[in-house]
């Protein structure tokens, strides 16, 4: 399994990786961010009750460039994340690029919605 893009982002760009089991049986979740709070908050959002986790799940899976994927198991999730990341142009694979800033903004929007109890607003 080639995880060269994932390795580059973690080893050279300071990104962090979290892989955890989805509580609703959708397999394993793999998410990448350079802010530890994003990883914690994404997991928290996906562990909320049904009515809150549905808009969070829809938001996170509806952005095809966001570094979060669901896989059948850990290996599948990592392979899917690598595949998604390999579509990002190499000059964008850093936190100060347009892609990096958009990833940060997307996760920040999720956290803001979580903290203001307005997860349903993410889908509007």
Q: What is the pLDDT of residues 49-90, one digit of tens each?
A: 666 677 777 888 888 999 999 999 999 999 999 999 999 999
Mean pLDDT score of the chain: 88
Other CB atoms within 10 Å distance of the CB of residue 4: 10
pLDDT at 122 (0 to 100): 56
Calculate what percentage of the chain has a pLDDT beyond 90: 61
**Cα 53 to Cα 7: distance, rounded to the nearest angstrom:** 30
Q: Which domain holds residue 108?
A: 4-123
Residue of 60 and 95 predicted with greater confidence: 95
What CA dihedral angle connects 53, 58, 60 and 61, to 10 degrees?
130
Kindly report which listed range (63-67, 79-83, 98-102, 114-118) carries the lowest average pLDDT score.
114-118
pLDDT at 50 (0 to 100): 66
Contacts of 3 (CB under 8 A, 6+ apart): 78, 82
Question: Alpha carbon 23 to chain centroid distance?
Answer: 16
Q: How many domains does the chain have?
A: 1
pLDDT at 57 (0 to 100): 78
**Cα 37 to Cα 15: distance, rounded to the nearest angstrom:** 12
Other CB atoms within 10 Å distance of the CB of residue 101: 13
Contact yes or no for 83/89 (Cβ under 8 A):
no
């Amino acid at each position: 399994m080639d995880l060269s893009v994932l390795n580059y982002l973690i080893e050279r760009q300071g990104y962090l990786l979290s892989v955890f089991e989805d509580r609703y049986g959708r397999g394993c979740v793999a998410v990448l961010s350079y802010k530890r709070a994003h990883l914690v908050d994404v997991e928290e959002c996906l562990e909320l009750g049904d009515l809150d986790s549905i808009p969070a799940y829809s938001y996170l899976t509806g952005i095809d460039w966001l570094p979060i994927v669901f896989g059948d198991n850990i290996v599948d999730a990592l392979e899917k994340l690598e595949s998604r990341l390999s579509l990002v142009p190499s000059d964008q694979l850093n936190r100060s690029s347009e892609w990096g800033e958009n990833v940060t903004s997307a996760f920040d929007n999720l956290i803001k919605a979580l903290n203001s109890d307005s997860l349903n607003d993410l889908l509007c």
